[in-house]
Amino acid sequence: MLNNFKTVLLLGLLTGLFLFVGSLWGQQGITIALVMSVLMNFISYFFSDKIALKMYGAKAVTRGEAPKLYSMLDYLCGRAGLPMPKVYIIPSDSPNAFATGRNPQNASVAVTEGAMRLLDETELQGVLAHELSHVKNRDILISSIAAMIAGIIMYASYMARFAMFFGGGRDREEEGGGALGGLFTIILAPIAATLIQLWISRTREYEADHTGAELVGDPRGLASALQKLEGYSKRLPMEASPSTAHMFIVHPFSGGGLMSLFSTHPPIQKRIDRLLGRAA
């Protein structure tokens, strides 16, 4: 519940930032940005699953080809009240997994060959539960909304930069904002929008961990899987595109310190600590 509250709060902050930028830029400019962002995210929402699966060479497998995966998913989907997703295996030695699809009826779960070899049955079940939780919690929809609002803000900032470069900024001063507002729109608003969007992504990962642990009934399998996945994925990094890396259970571009602010995933150790703390 706490992670869901944080998500709602962050979406509210993102919307407030959008309205503030819109008041500085004017109705016509923000309308153009809105149309462009909605169009881009509409395409992403409906076709991102096919793009991601094709990008990583994922192969659809039948029940006979992957009986262990299907057996685990049958059990977890029954507990979660979800329809059976399409099942894919990615031909990669790097251990990882992701779920995609705009709703439970169009969901897909993909697991790499490396994860199949590395994880034991309890750990693999924890990973699958985490991915199904993204489907159950409608995280694809939430991410699309956040991306759309952030995209509007960024597009508006680019338009403001273009206008100021060609001398249009002076004409805007009387409409509101002035030089300080223009500076905020161009520099600070896109950074703030990106940070909030990434923060939303991290809260959804925590929530998927929590929901996944509840589906299995024991968080230790997922915690152990996260520990293994992080270690082995560093030795065998996956060549993931930044545009789709957020979908994986272990983010190949995560960093510590300040860089954690710009990661779509929380630090693995924090996720493990939360899982095991919840078990205690």
Indicate which residues carry an active-site annotation: 131
- Are residues 189 and 160 in contact, defined by beta-carbon separation less than 8 angstroms? no
Per the structure block, which two tokens stand in for 98? 């992701």
Residue 86 DSSP class: E
C-alpha distance from residue 102 to each of 46, 235, 265 (Å): 6, 32, 20
- Sequence-distant (6+) residues with CB within 8 A of 4 are 207
User: 132, 100, 121: which is closest to 215 by C-alpha?
Assistant: 132
Contact 184, 153 (CB under 8 A): no
H-helix or E-strand spanning residue 233: helix 220-235
**Within 13 Å and on the Cβ side, how many CA atoms surround 177?**
22
Spatial separation of the C-alpha atoms in residues 211 and 226, rounded to whole Å: 15
Residue 263: count of CB within 10 angstroms of its CB: 19
Q: Report the half-sphere exposure of 215 (CA within 13 A, side-chain side).
A: 33
For residue 176, which phi and psi values (nearest 5 degrees)? Answer: 125, 140
